Structure 1
């Protein structure tokens, strides 16, 4: 698989990711959603931190929320550079196609989310921002408009999520140990197309590990 084909795959994922985020951002109020099926919902949420909504400041007490966001975004930029190098190097080494596809998916997913962090805070007029007085992230309401008024400062854009697959949503029976009588939902987190690309790639690498990291076959050179 060459760099052009990998680039096309990355472009298509980024296109779908950004179009879906743009639509959700400009048509839904934060927290609103719709049930497509019993096991699938579209719910608009914004994530100012890492995976599962965690933030760096949750682990390092002396780092403020805005500082945490800048550090996280900077780390993502370095990570993207590293992933691109991995992709380019794998293509040059004629690595297995399944590995190149997986790396391209990871790159597209990481790039898709970094776009939110770097630019959405300048493009849209409302979003989740850090309130210093309340010491937490808050939403200042309404459906966003892409009018370039901006809702936050440098590297403070929040990642837009909208896909939720609560395949199991029930109340556990009273006899169930520890959690008996409590609501149980699987899978509860809300994510986006970029996250799906990364998760798919990780799944492929785990299942097809031997194929993905097999040594490339060297073509024989025939001397005439």
Structure 2
């Protein structure tokens, strides 16, 4: 919210030179600016987010009750929190704020700029690290290592998924699975 009310669209502020900056953009789609076209695409994406968030919530509850690995539960919690954060942005920001414009700050508004579930997600973090000029892959030389602009929710989802991939042997080993099965009374 702070970025939305204190930055005009496209405005940036360096946090750590050569590493990261705040740059305010609005994203009508999903992580890193990917989108489905039009109003129908926006509703499909929001519906998917809602179904995913509810599904993850029920799945996590089941896993907690079955004694699942705490590391796996933590990863799912990151993914769940990120999904909910992006749902909040897209669901209510269009109702709470005026539209963002280049050179103009958004304001709290009575009517807002978009109907419920049609608002934009605010993205603001931008890594400015560049590949070295002499990088062996010429097409990458002097280009940004990670150009998308993202938000905390995107980071939470990405970190959760990456941590699951890294920790999958530990989370889903035979020992972890049998410990979870032992902790859960059978439903016979």
TM range (shorter): 0.7 to 0.9
Query: Which segments of 5 or more consecutive residues in structure 1 lack a partner in the other structure?
Result: 1-21, 58-64, 128-138
Q: TM-score, normalised by structure 2?
A: 0.85
Superposed structure 1 runs of 4+ greater than 3 Å apart: 169-173
Q: How does 1:108-187 map to 2 (within 5 A)?
A: 108-127=81-100, 139=101, 142-168=104-130, 177=138, 179=139, 183-187=142-146
Structure 2 runs not aligned, ≥5 long: none
CA distance in 2, matches of 1:176, 1:186: 12
Name the counterpart of 2:35. 55
Contact preservation (8 Å) 1:126, 1:142: no
CA distance in 1, matches of 2:11, 2:27: 15
| Alignment partner, residue 28 of structure 1 | 7
- Report how many residues are paired: 179
TM-score by length of 1: 0.72
**What root-mean-square deviation, in Å, do the aligned CA atoms of Structure 1 and Structure 2 show?**
2.4
Q: Name the structure with the higher strand share.
A: 1
Residues 170 and 185 of structure 1 are in contact (CA less than 8 Å); yes or no, is this contact kept in structure 2? no
Q: Distance between the aligned counterparts of 1:29 and 1:46, measured in 2?
A: 11
